[in-house]
Structure 1
Amino acid sequence: MKILSKLTIITLLFITGCSTTPNTYKTISAKDAQAKMTTSEDVVLLDVRTPAEYEEKHIQGSILIPDYDIETEIETQIPNKDTTIIVYCRSGNRSRNVANKLITMGYNDVYDLGGINNYPYTENIVTN
């Protein structure tokens, strides 16, 4: 009986200890993103819109890698996969897709800010 109990406990520990949940991106509010960007130098704000959209307006300090170039450009621009990345686009669709893609590519700390259209800190928006 003792052997069976020990085997059961070991099996349960093995199953729960070895199970991993897949890494997923997190959504982040504008307020929390702003706080994270002002308190840490290790945060990259990633704009995934087109160059024309970026030129029209973007959040100050962001870098541009269009969603269609993520797979070929991200590792050049952000080689450290533990970098905190906050992704945004125009309305939130592209940022969500890119955040998922970044997780799939092995990036560990990815946040989806959504769209610049809903970003309330207009003093941080650069326009041309």
Structure 2
Amino acid sequence: MNTITVQELKKRIDNGEKINLIDVREPAEYEEYNIGGKLIPLGNIQNMEVDELEPLKEEEVIIHCRSGKRSAAACLLLDSMGFKNTVNVEGGVLAWQEAFEQ
């Protein structure tokens, strides 16, 4: 598992990079506020329900949550399933909002 700051992530998004961004929060959290990632709750990953992620095993997968804790757990789980390049967003949505929603 690697890490990325919200500033680095936003710069890559703004540059138009193709990013595999996964949000591991719950659906209600996602509906309330999201930064455009694909919603796959941590529970799904814990239950090994990762079929839609399988094609990304060899690619960079950037994972975020509210604060960085659930996404770190998701990264470790995916690493154990053979994913080669998981990246945890430091500080999650809270850091994103603090940096860019002033």
Name which of 74, 80, 89 aligns with 1:104.
80
* Identity between Structure 1 and Structure 2 (%): 31
- Calculate the TM-score normalised by the size of structure 1: 0.67
Q: Which has the higher contact order (CA 8 A, sep 6+)?
A: 2
3-state SS in 2 of match to 1:91:
coil
> Aligned residue for 1:116?
93
CA offsets per residue over residues 58-95 of structure 1, 9 Å max, x none? Answer: 002x10000000121x2324523112111110111101
> Aligned residue for 1:91?
67
Structure 2's unaligned 5+ residue stretches are none
Which protein has the larger Cα radius of gyration, Structure 1 or Structure 2?
1
Count of residue pairs the alignment pairs up? 96
Instruction: Rate the CA distance shift 1:98–1:83 in 2: closer, same or farther, 3 A.
Output: same
Give me the CA root mean square deviation: 1.8
3-state SS in 1 of match to 2:78:
helix
In structure 2, C-alpha distance between the alignment counterparts of 1:80 and 1:45, rounded to whole Å = 11
Aligned pairs for 1:1-128 within 5 A: 25-37=1-13, 38-41=15-18, 43-60=19-36, 62-70=37-45, 71-72=48-49, 74-114=50-90, 115-119=92-96, 120-122=99-101
